[in-house]
């Protein structure tokens, strides 16, 4: 969310403001994207935002699943702005969370995710623990889906649509809201293992100005970030 985009809104009472955001609101792999709190907003203009719960970002011996805090720590790297092609920028917000959905037979499937936002780009990283193989997902992701190999594993590159949201605030109350179609997000889904046995990691990239994101930047982030994730094994 671009919190720096807050500005006065015409036609509203004194003290009212409008906050604009560009978010990725849907995804067939890795669960539903939504508007969420995205962690710590730095009060120091020269200091990158830190992930919430960094003390919880160590791998857990009790769970084979990565947490939102772990994803955030992996994504919120010092060189992330350089990987994105915007070396003079910094992380403005960063945070991770988990959501749950019910699968077949009533089983719970957790979807951890993390988002880091800069002035130009927003990046979201998620992990999926369903049994869907990445190779099977190609036909589910629309006409833009393109099968690839990334880090020696099956992968799919595809486009998704963002939505531009605006909210009015009067004091501490949320007033009117509005939405419209936003720009394009580019997403990369990568299998958890070379045999594509089910489950995946997904990185989505979109621009705050709704322009077209750079696929090369997305691939650079994936190649640096994914091997650092808990549960990622070479080969």
Neighbours of 108 (CB within 10 A): 9
What does pTM read for this prediction?
0.75
User: Nearest to residue 113, comparing CAs of 47, 177, 43, 29?
Assistant: 29
**Predicted local confidence at residue 186, as pLDDT:** 95
**Predicted local confidence at residue 169, as pLDDT:** 55
**Spatial distance between the Cα atoms of 189 and 92, rounded to a whole number of angstroms:** 25
With residue 31 as reference, give the H or E element that holds it.
none
**Spatial distance between the Cα atoms of 133 and 109, rounded to a whole number of angstroms:** 15
**Predicted local confidence at residue 96, as pLDDT:** 94
- Residue 63 CB partners (closer than 8 Å, separation 6+): none
Which pLDDT tens digits describe the chain residue by residue (235 residues)? 444 333 323 333 333 455 455 566 544 343 333 333 334 444 456 788 999 755 454 544 445 789 999 999 999 999 999 999 999 999 999 999 988 777 667 777 788 999 999 999 999 999 998 888 999 888 888 888 999 999 999 999 999 877 766 555 555 555 556 666 668 899 999 999 999 998 899 999 999 888 899 999 999 999 999 999 987 876 5
Is the Cβ–Cβ distance between 152 and 140 less than 8 Å? no
Torsion of CA 151, 223, 85, 73, to 10 degrees: 160
**Spatial distance between the Cα atoms of 98 and 231, rounded to a whole number of angstroms:** 17
**Predicted local confidence at residue 11, as pLDDT:** 34
**Predicted local confidence at residue 165, as pLDDT:** 61
């Amino acid at each position: 969310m671009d919190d720096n985009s807050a500005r006065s809104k015409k036609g509203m009472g004194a003290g009212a403001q409008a906050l604009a955001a560009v978010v990725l609101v849907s995804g067939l792999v890795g669960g539903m994207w939504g508007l969420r709190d995205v962690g710590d907003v730095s009060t120091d203009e020269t200091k990158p935002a830190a992930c919430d719960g960094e003390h919880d970002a160590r791998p857990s011996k009790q769970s084979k699943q990565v947490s939102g805090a772990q994803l955030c720590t992996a994504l919120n790297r010092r060189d992330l702005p350089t990987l994105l092609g915007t070396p003079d920028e910094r992380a403005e917000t960063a945070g991770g969370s988990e959501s749950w959905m019910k699968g077949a037979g009533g089983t719970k499937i957790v979807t951890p995710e993390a988002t880091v936002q800069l002035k130009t780009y927003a990046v979201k990283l998620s992990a999926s623990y369903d049994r869907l193989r990445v190779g099977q997902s190609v036909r589910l992701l629309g006409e833009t889906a393109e099968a690839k190999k990334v880090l020696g594993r099956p992968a799919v590159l595809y486009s998704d649509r963002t939505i531009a949201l605006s909210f009015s605030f009067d004091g501490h109350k949320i007033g009117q809201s509005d939405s419209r179609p936003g720009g394009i997000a580019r997403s990369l889904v990568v299998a958890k293992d070379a045999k594509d046995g089910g489950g995946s990691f997904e990185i989505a990239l979109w621009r705050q100005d709704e322009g077209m994101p750079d696929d090369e930047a997305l691939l650079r982030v994936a190649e640096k970030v994914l091997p650092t994730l808990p549960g990622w094994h070479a080969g």
